[in-house]
Amino acid sequence: MWAASRAWGWAVYTTVGRRQGPGPWGDGALGYLAFAGTWDSDWYERIAEEGYPATVPRDASGRAEENAWAFYPVFPLLVRAVMALTGGGWDATAAAVSLLAGFGAAVLVLRLFRCLAEPGTALWGLAFVAFAPVAPVLQVPYAESLHLLLLAAALLLVLRGRHLAAAPVVLLMCLTRPAGVPFAAALGLTWLVRTVRRARAGRLRRARDAVDGLLGLTVLACAAALAWPAIAWWATGEPTAYTDTETAWRGEDLHLVRPWFETGAELFGPLLGALAPVLLVAAGAVVLRARVVVARLDLLLRVWIACYAVYLLLFLHPQTSTFRLLLPLFPLALPLAALSSSRAYRVACVLAGAVLQLVWVGWLWHWRQLPGGGDYPP
C-alpha cells in the first residue's frame, strides 16, 4: 500500500514537472529527480556539501539574511554519509534516503496504530497518512519523512513504556526538525496527568515515587529541544543565531500569535480575520474532545496533538508551508479512519487525498513567479 502511494507521488511529481516553465531551477520542463529536488532541497544540499556558515550573514541594517542555520542537521549529514559510501549525487541519494525513511515510517506508524485499534482500521489509518494531500513530501529531499519515522518511533516507544530506548530516538528527532519543544511539552504534561491520577488513586505514597522514566525522558527532551539553538550559538558566537535566522524568512521580528490575526485579516477582512484564529482554536478543541478521538488515541497522542498545535499557533507565521507543517499531526488519521467502517467512506477519503496531492504539487511545488517576485513556497 505504501509503495502504491509512493508510485502515485512519483506520477504526480512527474506530471507536474513536465509542465514546469522557466524558473530558478531550469528553463523548462523538469524530470522527476530534478523537480523533486527543488525548493528547500537546495539548502540541505548546501549543508551536505559545505556545512554551516561560521557567522550569521546580515544585511546593512544588521538583520539576519536567509541561511543554512534554519535547517536541522541530521538529514543532510545522513545523506552526505550515504553519498560518501555510494558515490551518488545529491538528488538521487537524498530522494532515496527520504523514500526509504518513509517506508520505515510506514512500518512504525502501522505498529503505533495497531496498539490503538484493530488491524483493519490501523491499516486504513496508515492509508490516510500515505495518501494525505501533502504526503508527496515524504519522497523528496526534505527532512519530513525522516522526522515522521523518528516521531512515530518515539511515540511508539513511550506508549510501550520503553523510555530508555526512546532517549536516542528523541535526541535525533529534535535535531531533524524543529518539533522538540512541543514534544517535550507533551511528555511533561502526560507525566503530570499520570502522576496526578496515580496520586488520586492512592498509588503515589511518596513524592520520589513520581520520579520515573517518563520524567527522565521529559528532561532529556527539554535539553534536546534547545540543542540546535545552543549549537548555533556555540558555532557562531551569537546567542540568537538560530532565532534570528528563522525570522529572516518573515522579514520581521518574532511575534507570538499575532501573525495568525494578521494573515486572517488579509484573507477574510478585519472582522472575520479577527474571528478566524479563535474559531480555529475552538475547532481544534472540539476535535480533541470528539468521542472517536478520545476512544482511539491514547493520552500521550492527544496531548502531543494539542501541544504541537499550540506550538504552531504561538510561533508559526502562517503561509503556504503551513500545510506541510501539519504532517506531525498524523495520529489524527486513525480516528478519521475509525469514524466510519464503510469501505465507500474510506476509499473516498483516500481518493480525495490523492487528488489533493495533484492540487498541492501543482499549486505550490510548481514554481510560478509572482508579480512582486518569487513564489509561494510548498
Taking residues 63-71, report their average pLDDT.
96
Q: Give residue 2's pLDDT.
A: 98
Q: 229 near 242, Cβ under 8 Å?
A: yes
Q: Give residue 370's pLDDT.
A: 92
Rg (Cα) of the chain, in Å, rounded?
21
List Cβ neighbours of 195 (8 Å cut-off, separation of 6 or more).
204, 210
Q: Give residue 208's pLDDT.
A: 82
Over residues 86-132, the pLDDT tens digits come to 999 999 999 999 999 999 999 999 999 999 999 999 999 999 999 99
Q: Give residue 193's pLDDT.
A: 96
Over residues 138-177, the pLDDT tens digits come to 999 999 999 999 999 999 999 999 999 999 999 999 999 9
Q: Give residue 262's pLDDT.
A: 94
Measured between alpha carbons, how far apart are the two ends of the chain, in Å? 25
On the question of pLDDT at 205 being above 90, the answer is no
Q: 318 near 255, Cβ under 8 Å?
A: no
Element (H, E) at 50: helix 41-50
List Cβ neighbours of 364 (8 Å cut-off, separation of 6 or more).
320, 323, 376, 377, 378
Q: Give residue 207's pLDDT.
A: 80
On the question of pLDDT at 374 being above 90, the answer is no
Instruction: Tell me the H-state helices in the chain.
Output: 2-17, 32-36, 41-50, 74-86, 90-114, 119-130, 144-159, 163-174, 180-200, 213-225, 227-236, 241-248, 258-268, 270-289, 291-296, 299-315, 322-325, 333-338, 343-360
Taking the C-alpha atoms of residue 133 and residue 149, their distance in angstroms, rounded to an integer, is: 18
What phi and psi values does residue 311 have, to the nearest 5 degrees?
-60, -45
- Rounded (5°) CA angle 247-24-359: 80
Q: Which residues pair with 64 in a beta bridge?
A: 58
Over residues 328-362, the pLDDT tens digits come to 999 999 999 999 999 999 999 999 999 999 999 99
Taking the C-alpha atoms of residue 271 and residue 274, their distance in angstroms, rounded to an integer, is: 5
Taking the C-alpha atoms of residue 126 and residue 68, their distance in angstroms, rounded to an integer, is: 33
Q: 68 near 52, Cβ under 8 Å?
A: yes
Q: Give residue 252's pLDDT.
A: 82
Q: Which residues pair with 58 in a beta bridge?
A: 64
Taking residues 15-34, report their average pLDDT.
95
- Classify residue 87 as left (phi > 0), alpha (psi -120 to 50) or beta: left
Cell numbers representing residue 113 in the block: 496504530
Taking residues 167-191, report their average pLDDT.
98
Taking residues 7-18, report their average pLDDT.
98
